[in-house]
Amino acid sequence: MGTTGTVLAQEANFYRVRLDDGLGMVLCTRRARLKKTGQSVLVGDRVEVAEIDSASGRGVIAATCARRSVLSKPPIANCTGVLVVFALSEPTYDPALLSRFLVHIEAEKLGTIVCLNKIDEVPSEAVDGAAAAVGGWGYAVRPVSARTGAGIEALRAELAGMYVLAGPSGAGKSSLLNHLHPGLALRVGDISARLGRGRHTTRHVELFALNAEALVADAPGFNQLELTLAPERLAGYFPEFRPYLGRCQFRNCLHRDEPGCAVREAHLERYGIYREFLAEVLVSAQKQRRTAEPEEAIRLRGGLRRGKAVAVPRLEEQLRETSRRTARQQLGRFDETAADEAD
């Protein structure tokens, strides 16, 4: 058996692996057998390293260990939790966008710490209000300032395990990591005046060691996350909804306009956000069904009697034109109604 280690970064076909027991860092490729058998290597993976050349600092990843968890965006294995960074100013704080991140994290079944950044740029009442709201949703909240360093030491002491930084561009993720790990000097972007949001500065996934027990991953940022979740599961991804689930009149309640809905009657703060997300996932589920059942997404046009019909895509209902047969029927009913009124 070779030496074990943790993949800290990947660029192209090379992996930077920190070996266990303080044996240092090596730059590795992976054996062709792993690629041929479809075994991917992700940042955060525990791996077995062979053929180590201490002089050149090179090695080969021979095998990967079982993963405890896998994130798809960004692609990271074995996460302990997610550190969600949101700014209270520039870009403007958006509870709906924060909720979008939180729903995705809940679906991954990972722990969450919400880090409210730029507290030095807004009144203390705004900081307290945002922190109280997020805390009421069921999340740990840590107000910080990556510019002044306020709250950074307390946050560093709390982190243990492997965390991923998440949040919209411009929220200050790279600035925060520069404070958590002095000496990194990660590039920090400014805020686009035209778009009102940050510019991407992180180009690849990389883990940084804060201490012997804590790793934090900086990853390429993203502003929007498409919701492709099962509609019946969505409510369970809102922690404050969970005490009311199972108390509705109908077992298959989607918590919209159904009578006897305990969630709707609870008047929860994020209920409106839930309704917006539900509409989105219902549309996504409909598209997935059409993709899984192609016959519903096409229709036959022309040449039916001669067996020369052509399959064409079926348009969405709101985009379809009224057929000539339907138009004649509607016109006939109109004529009949007009005749009755004349009598």
Mean pLDDT by 10 residues, the chain (343 residues): 85 89 87 87 93 90 91 83 91 92 91 94 95 96 92 88 87 86 59 40 72 77 70 96 94 93 95 96 84 58 56 58 73 61 56
Q: How far apart (Å, rounded) are the C-alpha atoms in residues 85 and 173?
A: 6
Q: How far apart (Å, rounded) are the C-alpha atoms in residues 111 and 211?
A: 20
Cis peptide before 168 (omega within 30 of 0): no
Enumerate the known binding-site residues for GTP. Answer: 117-120, 167-175
Q: How far apart (Å, rounded) are the C-alpha atoms in residues 297 and 302?
A: 17
Q: Is the pTM of this model over 0.85?
A: no
Q: Note the pLDDT of residue 218.
A: 72
Residue 248 has, within 13 A of its CA and on its CB side, a CA count of: 20
Enumerate the known binding-site residues. Answer: 117-120, 167-175, 248, 253, 255, 261
Q: Are 85 and 173 in contact (CB under 8 A)?
A: yes
CA distances from 300 to 307, 310, 313, 316 (A): 10, 5, 9, 16
Q: How far apart (Å, rounded) are the C-alpha atoms in residues 221 and 186?
A: 14
Enumerate the known binding-site residues for Zn(2+). Answer: 248, 253, 255, 261
CA distances from 311 to 78, 290, 304, 325 (A): 47, 15, 11, 20
